[in-house]
């Protein structure tokens, strides 16, 4: 009679494509990602990345253009738009689609947003859901969850209005 080894049925974890790339956690990481992707680090591209990492806000192309020019950094409208498009399509920066236009942020890996309905501001938060919820979603859909993003909405001044 053959004995079955209880340890023989181990499932090796397949690395996803995402995990092959190191997450971007700093401005230097963002520069390095550009180099890894073979993207040229032009002066204008560095200005945009620097700004997004300094302000840690979600800004529109227009706001990025205005702020850079206020800082005395010469960059044209077209250059701002083209660089934002290139950086967001390569996953170096975040692009949030909103009904009134696109906003760009510095973090490109999975994170959640708190949307303030008073100020229209979007704040980044890292929220970890309990395993129980993840398992429920997985068993309901048959999809193994590897990441998630939650959108929270709320008012800052609700109580003072009443
Ligand atoms: Zn964000």
Measure 108 CA to ligand 1 centroid, in angstroms.
7
Measure 87 CA to ligand 1 centroid, in angstroms.
15
Measure 136 CA to ligand 1 centroid, in angstroms.
26
Residues 153 and 128 in one domain: yes
- Report which of 71, 102, 69, 99 is spatially closest to residue 85, judged by C-alpha positions: 102
Q: What is the number of structural domains in the chain?
A: 2
Measure 12 CA to ligand 1 centroid, in angstroms.
32
The protein residues having their C-beta less than 5 angstroms from ligand 1 (an ion) are 94, 105, 124
The yes-or-no verdict on residue 17 having pLDDT over 70 is no
The yes-or-no verdict on residue 139 having pLDDT over 60 is yes
Residues 59 and 138 in one domain: no
Arithmetic mean of pLDDT over the chain: 86
Q: What are the DSSP calls for 25-56, one per residue?
A: -SHHHHHHHHHHTT----HHHHHHHHHHHHH-
The CATH number of the domain where 156 resides is what?
A: 3.30.1490.190
**How high is the pLDDT of residue 113?**
94
- Out of 86, 109, 132, pick the residue that ends a domain: 109
Angle at 40 between CA 34 and CA 44, to 5 degrees: 100
Q: Please state which of the ranges 17-26, 75-84, 130-139 shows the lowest mean pLDDT.
A: 17-26
Residues 115 and 67 in one domain: no
**How high is the pLDDT of residue 14?**
39
pTM: 0.75
């Amino acid at each position: 009679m053959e004995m079955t080894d209880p340890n023989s049925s181990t499932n090796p974890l397949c690395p996803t494509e995402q995990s092959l790339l190191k997450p971007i956690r700093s401005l230097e990481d963002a520069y390095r990602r550009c180099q890894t992707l073979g993207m040229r680090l032009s002066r204008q591209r560095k200005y945009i990345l620097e700004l997004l990492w300094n302000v840690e806000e979600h800004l529109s192309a227009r706001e990025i253009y205005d702020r850079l020019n206020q800082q005395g950094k010469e960059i044209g409208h077209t250059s701002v738009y083209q660089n934002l498009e290139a950086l967001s399509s390569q996953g170096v920066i975040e692009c949030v689609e909103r009904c009134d236009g696109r906003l760009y942020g510095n973090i490109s890996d999975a994170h959640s947003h708190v949307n303030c309905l008073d100020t229209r501001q979007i704040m980044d938060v890292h929220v970890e859901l309990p395993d129980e919820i993840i398992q429920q979603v997985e068993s309901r859909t048959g999809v193994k969850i590897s990441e998630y993003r939650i959108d929270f909405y709320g008012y800052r001044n609700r109580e003072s209005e009443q």
